[in-house]
Amino acid sequence: MKNMTEINAAGLENRDRRHFLKSSALLTGVLTATSVLGLLAPSLSWALPLQHLDQADADAVLALAKTLYPHKDLPDAVYALVVKELDVYAGDAEGRNFVTKGVAALNAKASGHFSKVSRAGQRRAVATLIDDGFVQKVRSTCVTGLYNNDMAFAHFGYEGEAFSKGGYVHRGFNDLSWLPAPPSEASPALKS
Amino acid sequence: MVQFAKDDDTVVVIVGSGAGGGTLANELCQKGVNVVLLEAGKRQSSATFINDEWPSFKQLAWLDTRTTSGSWRIARDFPNLPSWICKTVGGTTTHWAGASLRFHDYEFKTRTTYGGIKGANVMDWPLSLDELEPYYARAEDKMGVTRTNDIPGLPGNNNFKIMYSGATKVGYKTCHTGRMAINSRPRAGRGRCLQLGFCFQGCKSGAKWSTLYTEIPAAEATGKLELRTEAHVARIEHDAAGKANAVVYFDADGKEQRQKARVVCVAGNSIETPRLLLMSASAKYPDGLANSSGQVGRNYMRHTTGSVYAYFRDPVHFYRGTVMAGVITDEVPNNPKRGFVGGYEFETISLGLPFYAAFLDPGAWGSKFATFMDHYKSTAGMWIVGEDLAQKSNRITLNSMVKDQYGLPVPNVHYDDHPNDVAMREHAYKQGEAIYRAVGALDVIRTPPYPSTHNLGTCRMSEKASDGVCNKHGQTHDIPNLFISDGSQFTSGGAANPTLTIVSLAIRQAEYIAEQLAARSL
């Protein structure tokens, strides 16, 4: 893990260090000090300045990502990466309109601001609108965005690139000890 | 490096540099035959391979547009990505995981063994295991397959430990770390497996056999091979008598080139190979080359696959080490009492976090999916490889409504599961779940088939010219100097990963072509 630059490389910033005068909206959060990311990040507080989405739409996209993929303790900092991608998508009028209309449909279905209704209300609204183009856009952005970054790797326990570390041949490829080891006919010892 | 003139009509032109084409090229060059090898992709190396799933996919995969139809779930989840194969020197031998199993005797005689099956187009190969056995032996030696030629098996990883314990508990007897074309110790100038866990992304240690760094450099060293990369073949031409005489392709600059040929061998994998024959239609061959039987593009097979993943209380780290770290073969023999003909094997599988998310249950959302992702670190996985039955209507056709970057019609891949395939997959899912439950799985999930890596059968071998496209040497029935040199030749798919058989057929085909050239029969 490239820990010093981790949070910054992901596009989130230490909110104590910057001013966000030109941003259209701001997502902020605080990592739990004892979480994997909290231990690795240079600062516990983070902020994501957005350029195109307004605050209500940004909050709605964040809530939608969390409703679609409701991980027990995945920090908002990772979900914020999905909002960042949608913010880029909203960079032209067509994209902006797509997001605004999509959020409006979610709000209508939830009978209120989607980001503020109950979890159950959010799930119901998404279940009804799951085939909607906007919901699918956010869903597919989640699949490629939530799980393909160093923060997610650290959180879910995937070690990523292995060649520069010599692979796992001496780093635990067969370190599982809660089952008996297979006999050598089935699984011969490592050959030098 | 040797260069042949475009109007040199004495060369053998091979289309595709993977398991079939790359092997055939080397075997021919070793016999003194001049070869022009055309590869649509670029040349990578162990040094340029990437241990990162999405960037590697962009580097190696065949991403030209394709379309799909039929009731298979791929048409819904990945409508423009029916297969996961490669466009790069070495073809899909860069991506394969190394499993190298032979077909069994009866798997060459499926019509005789299984009988006629409604809705299926099952046929015996015009070739027997006896005939192929010496070539299997040569292929295993060439590829350095473990548990053959006194090569030790690979050590099993954590994913294998779970498979082995579970398999033993449910009563299976044949579970081990497989016959793998991955060096368990240094061999043939290549090092030992480093247990990187990135077999699918191109092996950065070079321990896994790939034509990229074995067959192709060996062929180049003979001075008989000219490899042309980024050469995308558009059509094969023929003379007035109907014999193939040239291959037309687009070079790296998109310029059309024409290479004359004495013999043409097509090894573009089972989607591009029939597409090329169909795109080569002429006044003399209005239905495409070698298609008097009407079978070009038909009988597309892709194995009855699927995966079972499970998570446990304690850590597994299944992504560490070889992707296909072990195999269970108890369900391979044909036993119709199970409710289907043919058989299947299990192999361990692992995916990195990005691809696990993409393939676990495409389109899914909500708490079940999220819970499986939450337990990634304590997850184990296995893949099902079973024989699917050939059907005439499962086929590659030209989609004239959609054009590729050269203005050529893209291939459409149509596939419907046969009831036999569905029954087999159901049986395999249940057995796979039982294996993991037996060792304490907290939950299990049935993952649907991935985009196909085993694409087979679309230019099948047949005894009679009216039943298929080529004979038992891969020589097309209609055009004697046109050969099929990849998995398209398969008459049936077997319960085995196809690469070893493709390589064995290529070695055998090279012998035949060299003999025919020497005898001036070609």
Query: Which residues, 6 or more positions from B21, have their beta carbon under 8 angstroms from its beta carbon?
Result: B14, B15, B37, B39, B91, B211, B265, B267, B268, B485, B486, B506
What average pLDDT does range B54-79 have in this prediction?
97
How many pairs of residues across A and B have Cβ atoms under 8 Å apart? 160
Which residues of B fall within a CB distance of 8 Å from A192? 185, 192
Is B165 in contact with A180 (Cβ distance < 8 A)? Answer: yes
Q: Place A191 in a pLDDT band, splitting at 50, 70 and 90.
A: confident
Residue B153: list chain A partners with CB under 8 A: 186-188
Of B113, B234, B38, B74, which Cα lies nearest the Cα of B494?
B113
pLDDT value at position A12?
62
Q: Beta strand pairing status for B35-38 and B395-403?
A: unpaired
Nearest CA in chain A to B159: A174
Lowest mean pLDDT among A18-27, B4-13, B90-99, B332-341: A18-27
Whether residues A182 and B321 touch (CB distance < 8 A) is answered with no
Q: Does A131 touch chain B if contact means CB atoms closer than 8 Å?
A: no
Contact B161 A148 (CB under 8 A): no
Q: Are residues A135 and A63 in contact, defined by beta-carbon separation less than 8 angstroms? A: no
pLDDT digits (tens, 9 = 90+) for B99-124: 999 999 999 999 999 999 999 999 99
Torsion, Cα of A157, A158, A164, A166 (10° steps): 80
DSSP B271-312: HHHHHHHHHT--SSSTT-TT-TTS-TT-S-B--EEEEEEEE-
* Per-position DSSP letters for B222-269, written without gaps between them: TT-EEEESS-EEEEEEE-TTS-EEEEEEE-TTS-EEEEE-SEEEE-SH
Report which secondary-structure segment, H or E, holds B66: none
Nearest-Cα residue of chain A relative to residue B365: A68
To the nearest whole percent, how much of chain B has pLDDT over 70? Answer: 100
A143, B357: Cβ pair inside 8 Å?
Answer: yes
Q: What is the pLDDT of residues B475-504, one digit of tens each?
A: 999 999 999 999 999 999 999 999 999 999
- Which residue's structure tokens are 């049986």? B427
pTM of the model: 0.96
- Cβ neighbours of A172 in B, within 8 Å: 317, 320
Looking at per-residue pLDDT, the higher value among B37 and A11 belongs to B37
> In 10 A of CB B443, how many CB atoms?
15
What value does the mean pLDDT take over residues B43-69? Answer: 98
Which pLDDT does position A157 carry in this prediction?
97
Residue pLDDT, tens place only, B69-82 = 999 999 999 999 99
CA–CA gap between residue B367 and residue B376 (Å, rounded) = 14
Q: Are B344 and B497 in contact (CB under 8 A)?
A: no
CB atoms under 10 Å from CB of A28, counted, come to 16
Closest CA to A28 of A87, A77, A88: A77
Q: Does A169 touch chain B (CB under 8 A)?
A: yes
Count of CB atoms situated within 10 Å of the CB of B434: 17
Q: Could you give the CA distance from residue B405 to residue B396 in angstroms, rounded to a whole number?
A: 19
Exposure string of B363-384, with b = 16+ CB inside 10 Å and e = fewer, is eebeeebbbbbbbbbbbbbbbb
Query: CB-based contact (8 Å) between A173 and chain B?
Result: yes
| Per-residue model confidence (pLDDT) at position A9 | 44
ipTM confidence score: 0.95
Mean pLDDT for all residues in chain B:
98
Are B175 and A186 inside 8 Å of each other by CB?
yes
What pLDDT is stored for residue A41 in this prediction? 81
**Cα separations in angstroms, B324 against A72, A86, B88, B350, B498:** 31, 37, 22, 8, 15
Separation of alpha carbons B153 and A184, rounded Å: 9
The three-state secondary structure class of B12 is: strand
Q: Is the pLDDT of residue B365 over 60?
A: yes
| Residue A171 sits at the chain B interface (C-beta within 8 Å) | yes
Residue B396 is inside which H or E element, if any?
strand B395-403
Sort B118 into a burial class: Cβ within 10 Å, 0-12 / 13-18 / 19+: exposed
CA dihedral sign of residues B413, B93, B326, B53: negative
